[in-house]
Amino acid sequence: MTAKKKTQTELDGFERPAIESLDSACMTYRENRDERMKLTKEETESKSQLQALLIEHEAELERDSNGNAVYHFEDGDVRYAATLSRSVNVTVRKVKPEDEPPGLTVHEGGEAA
């Protein structure tokens, strides 16, 4: 979590109405927004790196029915597919059993055969 910032002091006679619950909610929102913005920047950088690697290894990857390059990977019991679309966009999603490529059998525990 980020360090708390100093709050500006009020001049005598120019005090704003203070509603503690609103002040707290505003500060919490600001902190959460700032953290989300930081994470969005990191996500964008990660996606660019993934996209570059998918392009680099595109010839080695499977193709889906639309001609998009697809890389399957697992995280524990969950299967995912990273797809490099023909418009050079990248998506990563969980793989549903009906989305499995033909000829690929997934056993319990998520291992492909």
pLDDT digits (tens, 9 = 90+) for 13-44: 777 778 899 999 999 999 999 999 999 999 99
Pairing mode, strands 90-94 and 78-84: antiparallel
The amino acid at 23: D
Cα-Cα end-to-end distance for the chain: 44
pLDDT above 50 for 62 = yes
What DSSP string runs through 69-96? EEEEEEETTEEEEEEE-TTS-EEEEEPP
